[in-house]
Structure 1
Amino acid sequence: MNRITEQESKYNDIDKMSVMEILKGINAEDKLVPLAVEKALPQIEKLASAIAERMIAGGRLFYIGAGTSGRLGVVDASECPPTFGVTFDRVVGIIAGGDTAIRKAVEFAEDDAAQAWIDLQEYNINEKDSLVGLAASGTTPYVIGGLNTARKHGVLTGCVICNHGGPIVAESDFPVEVVVGPEFLTGSTRMKSGTAQKLVLNMLSTTVMIRLGRVKGNKMVDMQLTNHKLVDRGTQMVMDELNIDHEHAADLLNKYGSVRKAVEASKG
């Protein structure tokens, strides 16, 4: 397989560049990422729609990946509860090598094709759920093995990769291929490829949560009020929605614990 993510950088002698030359080169490559994501929108639409349908019926969303890809999945999953008020087990990110690998690389964890399904079984993954494999190269054995076995058990499968085709696509009902080209630093997929995956994950989880009714208008009405900034934001939302003063809105938010509940109780 011709892995675009491993192709040599278009930039030579970057170790001899000035700081500004390095920054301009990276920035020039980064500008290509959203254009590549735009080309993949039809694929992203199909995956997001399929996941939303299953989650509306009570299913869960799982991400699996190794290295940078795995970390991005963990980040996206961990941000869903505070942003949308869902329980921590509705969107789950799993990284090869376990939580230790979030901070420190675990040698050869990505090469174990059987381990992903073992990790997923801890959550009793089943045919109601969706599994998205994250791998810039599209060739990571951990992810391929997880998707393969999950698919055999009736789990909906998808992937987000930065190559054309490959074995992960063959195991995915809804593949997403965002081809960003060679990295500024040859093979460093934490750069453009990681940015592309981050953008797609933002799109997936946000779209799915909107379809689940976790957004009202353009507001995060179910967000968790875990710091003063979010409490202030929530208070302003209640003020705007009910046309009341700050003190009254703050009292309602404190009493009901969320913007949605405060507004519904007052309008009910």
Structure 2
Amino acid sequence: MNFTKTTEQDSNYNHLEKMTVSELLTNINSEDKTVALAVEKAIPQIEILVNQIVQKLEKGGRLFYIGAGTSGRLGILDASECPPTFGVSYDLVIGLIAGGDSAIRKAVEFAEDSTTQGWKDLQNYNISEKDVVIGIAASGTTPYVISALKNCNKNQIITGCITSNHNSPLSQTAQYPVEVIVGPEFVTGSSRMKAGTAQKMTLNMITTTTMIKLEKVKGNKMVDMQLSNNKLVNRGIKMIMSELNISQKEAQNLLDKYKNVRTAIQHYNNGN
């Protein structure tokens, strides 16, 4: 197999310690500007994966992210933002990280090297062929992630991945690989930088597009968002005012009564 880890190749910059703060920031930013273009090239792969996710979730399935280190944290971040943004259950999109929840804040040594724990972690959620599992690993070589996907494949569970190396072992394992090739990092091997940014952008695209196709957005508004703080309550009131062309007081009364923007609009339109 022809496989080169571009994420581990030497930075295009050297003698970083001799650069001024301005030079460091400018050069990092120059590298970051290339990430969106790399993601753009992967859109056809992302589209195929999203279509699979939508089909499974429409039939009652779930979406799992599994990763180690930065990759695991980004999956958990994206999963945790779906319920407040789209009003879905916390059981719909689930993020798992090597080493367990304690690894979110503090690295757990060698957790990513386990070839058995990833599948065990998925089994704790009674994973089945109804679900989709996306492995996230910038390197594309993380044993915890690859072994989990191999077991998913054996059990007829759809698998995808997000990686920043072409033709990696992870890409070879996933049924629907997404490869966002960002090239060498500013600090050699520091894949929390461009690769991590690429992962965040890709995850945003996957869940946002999926939730829109699951009708969790109306027009361009988050009508199913959880009203968990004053900012979101005020946003909800403005949505209702705009949609129904009514006063702020009327909109507030509707939201107070129904506790959900979509429900408030529906009841108003139905004359209830």
Asked if these proteins are the same fold (TM beyond 0.5), I'd say yes
Counterpart of 2:103 in structure 1 is 101
Counterpart of 2:21 in structure 1 is 19
Deviation by residue 1:81-128 (Cα, 9 ceiling, x = unmatched): 000000000000000000000000000000001101100111101000
1:87 to 86, 89, 114: 89
CA distance in 1, matches of 2:113, 2:53: 27
2:123 to 116, 121, 134: 121
Counterpart of 1:171 in structure 2 is 173
2:187 to 185, 188, 202: 185
CA distance in 2, matches of 1:170, 1:31: 28
Matched length: 268
Deviation by residue 1:133-186 (Cα, 9 ceiling, x = unmatched): 000000000000110001111111000000001111121111000000000000
Deviation by residue 1:43-68 (Cα, 9 ceiling, x = unmatched): 00000111011101110000000000
Counterpart of 1:154 in structure 2 is 156
The 5-angstrom pairing of residues 1-268 of structure 1 reads 1-268=3-270
CA distance in 1, matches of 2:191, 2:115: 21
Give percent identity, aligned residues only: 61
CA distance in 1, matches of 2:61, 2:215: 15
Deviation by residue 1:205-245 (Cα, 9 ceiling, x = unmatched): 00000010100000000000000000000000011111110
Shift of 1:246: 0.5
CA distance in 1, matches of 2:105, 2:29: 26
Specify the code of the residue in structure 1 equivalent to 2:224: D
Gaps of 5+ in 1: none
CA distance in 2, matches of 1:173, 1:53: 15
Give the aligned CA root-mean-square deviation in angstroms.
0.6
CA distance in 2, matches of 1:194, 1:166: 17
Specify the code of the residue in structure 2 equivalent to 1:18: T
Gaps of 5+ in 2: none
CA distance in 2, matches of 1:239, 1:113: 54
